[in-house]
Amino acid sequence: MTRSFVLALSSVLIAAGSAAAEPVAVRVAYSTAELARPDGAAAVAARIRIAARKACGGDDPVVASGSGFQACQQRTVERAARDLGAPLVAEALGRGHTVLAGR
């Protein structure tokens, strides 16, 4: 089954460094089967990274080189990992948690 979620930001960076008034939303499609396989989760993680770059204004070279771009992108990826709630995707994004075996 194909599903999607939206990466949304209440504001994005612009060249002047101030926030734009309009929210930005980028849809990320995935299948439920992808969430259960490491290779599928890696593909979803790659789509999340691309969407975060776009949502934060990375298509504009001036914005992408700005001081707040990396932080925006990181916050957006972290929010997507948390909101999606898929452990393999979170791990592929470098936000997974290691679970230690019982003692």
pLDDT digits (tens, 9 = 90+) for 4-42: 666 665 434 433 344 444 667 788 889 999 999 999 999
Average pLDDT over residues 61-77: 87
The pLDDT of residue 11 is: 39
66 phi/psi in degrees, rounded to 5: -75, 160
Instruction: Show the beta-strand stretches assigned E in 1-103.
Output: 2-9, 24-31
Cα–Cα distance measured from residue 3 to residue 89, given in angstroms and rounded to the nearest whole number: 15
pLDDT(1) > 80: no
Instruction: Show the beta-strand stretches assigned E in 10-72.
Output: 24-31
Q: What is the pLDDT of residues 8-17, one digit of tens each?
A: 654 344 333 4
Is pLDDT larger for residue 49 or for residue 19? 49
